[in-house]
Structure 1
Amino acid sequence: MDHAAVLALFDRDMREDAQPDGPDTRVERVGGVVRQVSSARGWNGVVWSDLDETNAQAAISEQIAFFSGLGRDFEWKLYGHDRPVDLGERLRAAGFTAEPEETLMIAEAAGLDLDAEPPEGVRLLPVTDAAGVHLVADVHEKAFGTDGSRLREQLLARLAGEPDTIVAVVALAGDEPVSAARMELLPGTRFAGLWGGGTVEGWRGRGVYRALVAHRARAAVERGYRYLQVDASSQSRPILERLGFAPLTTTTPYTYVPRAA
């Protein structure tokens, strides 16, 4: 895989030509910035920018004013190769908070081990209804220790309005949900995004995560997607590298919370 060429393709498909990630969202191109605007429960933020030292500060101020006017928290999704080189410093100086850095990892879906099965006693359940969505959100809360209500609402909306753009799956040990993950599919792109992948403590390191990756990779190949993309944490990066994913750059979410009036 030509890393530079694939990264350029990712930038074009998934960032510069970004599509809304839900039925209640829109993508806007304003100057050198591409942003997604959603409801307060959806994802609001900047997905791509083409800036330099002469216009970066003005663009940052414009986005703060725009989202603050809507009363929305928002995220500026900064990649390691974005310009100017001090864009992260400029965002922090403007009041953004940097979340933990992750690694953008990409693999050719057909080149992965698609035969990986879950460990004995674990079965994979495709999520097609509200009951399955609640299982995904419950696993998310247990695995990551965060509130799953926003994820629950987003998955329900996607299944109801755009079911062809989402693949979600839960791993069950008996009747107990022990891991869950989803894949987001944007028509017209060559990339399928892997998200979630949370496994509850006690089931980690037993091959469940690997099986969830293989399940989604098979679904991506069946639907004609060439590449799989993951924003990998430091915990999942070694697993993904062993599966055949390549690290292409870093990605850091910078979040901004409007000041109270």
Structure 2
Amino acid sequence: MGQDAATLLGAYDEHLRGPVELAGATDVATDGPLCRGRFSDTGFVTHRRLAPGADLPALVARTIAHFAATDVVEFEWKTRGHDLPGLAPLLRAHGLVPGPEETLMVGPVDLALGESAGPVTVRRAGADGDTTLWLAEADGVLVGTGRLEVVPGTPFAGLWGGAVDPAWRHRGVYRALTAARARYARAHGVRLLHSDCLPTSRPILERAGLVAVGTTTPWVWRR
């Protein structure tokens, strides 16, 4: 059964924002609602939804000072379209540069279990903890890939890294990859799927039952 966009967005905010996004990070620090983490020579900033009374200028200034005092070469502040409206202008004013806006998609895993479409065979190539890599092949030739990342302690798994050989686009390869990952996810207790997608992937994910619930933008500071 499908769910409305507001309910799906609420589940996303509850389970996928904040410390859960810093799994595997080192030097994790909090500053009020913010969580800052380091991955090798890069940093990442996230937070749950900011309260209207949050002191955004101070939070942004302290974050830049925090990373400037380290040797990271850059950090990303991931924003969502339903964050406080004053955040993006502040990030721009402090020199952060926005990357491409992506559509935030969320939906029940059961709706994405369709038959593997297209003249391809999809198989799981390997696993790294909660991450699995999937390959789509035609007569033994690799024509598409994708990752599934189960988020421990939540009902979610993420669909990431979808790529299809240009010669094989519009032939059901990405749809087959989506269905195979969804079946694996459900077998491992996942109830909801999510993805940050570009316009090329959105129609396929919508046909798989995912709903556009918002947008996400990476803002990047470089030394």
Please report the TM-score for the alignment, with normalisation by the length of structure 2.
0.90
Q: Secondary structure at the match of 1:70?
A: coil
Match in the other structure for 1:80: 81
User: 1:99-110 counterparts in 2 under 5 A?
Assistant: 99-110=99-110
More strand by share: 2
Give the % identical residues.
37
Give runs of ≥4 in structure 1 deviating > 6 Å.
none
Change (3 A) 1:67 1:127: farther
Aligned CA-pair RMSD:
2.0
User: 1:47-126 counterparts in 2 under 5 A?
Assistant: 47-49=46-48, 50=50, 52=52, 55-72=55-72, 73-83=74-84, 85-112=85-112, 114-120=113-119, 122-126=120-124
Match in the other structure for 1:35: 36
Match in the other structure for 1:248: 213
Asked whether the 8 Å contact 1:28–1:35 carries over to 2, the reply is: yes
Please report the TM-score for the alignment, with normalisation by the length of structure 1.
0.77
Match in the other structure for 1:203: 168
Instruction: Kindly tell me the number of residue pairs found equivalent between the two proteins.
Output: 219
Asked whether the 8 Å contact 1:19–1:186 carries over to 2, the reply is: no
Structure 1 position 46 matched with structure 2 position 63: no
Match in the other structure for 1:8: 10
Unaligned runs of 5+ in 1: 130-158
Offset, 1:104 = 0.5
Asked whether the 8 Å contact 2:144–2:162 carries over to 1, the reply is: yes
Q: Secondary structure at the match of 2:186?
A: helix
**What are the superposed Cα offsets for residues 53-80 of structure 1, whole Å, 9 maximum, x if unpaired?**
6611111111112222222211111101
Equivalent-residue separation in structure 1 for 2:90 and 2:164 (angstroms): 36
Q: Secondary structure at the match of 2:20?
A: coil
Equivalent-residue separation in structure 2 for 1:55 and 1:119 (angstroms): 51
Unaligned runs of 5+ in 2: none
Q: Match of 1:16, as an amino acid?
A: G
Offset, 1:12 = 1.9
Equivalent-residue separation in structure 2 for 1:249 and 1:30 (angstroms): 25
Change (3 A) 1:27 1:175: farther
User: 1:164-203 counterparts in 2 under 5 A?
Assistant: 165-203=130-168
Asked whether the 8 Å contact 2:8–2:107 carries over to 1, the reply is: no
More helix by share: 1
User: 1:136-175 counterparts in 2 under 5 A?
Assistant: 159=128, 163=129, 165-175=130-140
Asked whether the 8 Å contact 2:77–2:218 carries over to 1, the reply is: yes
Which region of structure 1 is more displaced relative to structure 2, 213-222 or 51-60? Answer: 51-60
Asked whether the 8 Å contact 1:18–1:27 carries over to 2, the reply is: no
Asked whether the 8 Å contact 1:18–1:47 carries over to 2, the reply is: no
Offset, 1:19 = 4.9
Match in the other structure for 1:152: none
Change (3 A) 1:179 1:98: same
